Amino acid sequence: MLTFTLSLDSLSLYIALFDIAALLTYVLYLINKKRKLENAINRITDFISEYFINTGTEVQVSCYKLANDDNRFVVLIQSEPLKRFRYSFILESNLIAHTLKKTGSVVDRIYWRFPVSSQKDIEDDLQIKAESEDLYFSEVKSKTQSGLEYKVSEASWDDFEGPK
Supply the pLDDT for residue 147. 56
CA distance 27 to 25: 5
CA distance 164 to 159: 9
For residue 40, name the pLDDT band (cuts at 50, 70, 90): very high
Q: State the burial class of residue 85 (Cβ atoms within 10 Å of its Cβ: 0-12, 13-18, 19+).
A: middle
Query: What stretch of H or E contains 109?
Result: strand 106-113
Supply the pLDDT for residue 67. 80
Supply the pLDDT for residue 38. 93
pLDDT at 63 over 80: yes
Supply the pLDDT for residue 41. 93
Cβ atoms 97, 91 nearer than 8 A: no
Cβ atoms 110, 77 nearer than 8 A: yes
φ and ψ at residue 63, rounded to 5 degrees: -135, 140
- For 43-53, what is each residue's pLDDT tens digit? 999 999 998 89
Cβ atoms 67, 80 nearer than 8 A: no
Which one, of 83, 78, 87, lies nearest residue 58 by Cα? 78
CA distance 75 to 61: 7
For residue 29, name the pLDDT band (cuts at 50, 70, 90): very high
Which comes out higher in pLDDT, residue 131 or 158?
158
**Cut 0.75: pTM above it:** no
